[in-house]
Amino acid sequence: MSQPLTVKPAPALRALYFRLAAMGGMIPEAPIRFAMRLAVAAVFFNSGLLKVNSWELTLLLFRDEYMLPVLPTVLAAQMATAMELAVPPFLAAGLLTRLATLPLLGMVAVIQTFVYPQAWPEHLLWASILLFVLARGPGAWSLDRLFGIDR
């Protein structure tokens, strides 16, 4: 039986890799978690603003393009708009953060399943961030931490 082929990087490349890894480990987590929360919150909040600013177009989109099963068009549009405007500020501020991820994860699932299944890379990105925040919490730069809601 032959031995498995193992490739060892040159010592200088290996040393550089470990130096970079150590430097990456020095980046504080709080601003990263804050940026993650802010990025996803901005996507959903801006979507809600667009819906409000062109309500007639929103209704047409929900009727002709989104075509959600079960829910009537107007109710679906109202619910989506309300969630997109109400929940992201909580996520951005880090207030009741883990709870705030749930409706947004639900929206991602609906959008992925019924509306734009081909946009899975974007939905995967949003869901990954939301799942990380749900699992690990909002981080030190959050109202949850300030109020002792989340550690």
pTM over 0.85, yes/no? yes
pLDDT bin (cut points 50, 70, 90) of residue 4 is: confident
For 140, list phi and psi in degrees, rounded to 5.
Answer: -70, -30
pLDDT of 39-90, one tens digit each? Answer: 999 999 999 999 999 999 999 999 999 999 899 999 999 999 999 999 999 9
Q: What is the pLDDT of residue 57?
A: 97
C-alpha distances in Å from residue 70, one per residue of 58, 59, 74, 127: 18, 16, 12, 24
Model confidence at 6: pLDDT above 80: no
Give the closest residue to 131 by CA, choosing from 95, 96, 104.
104
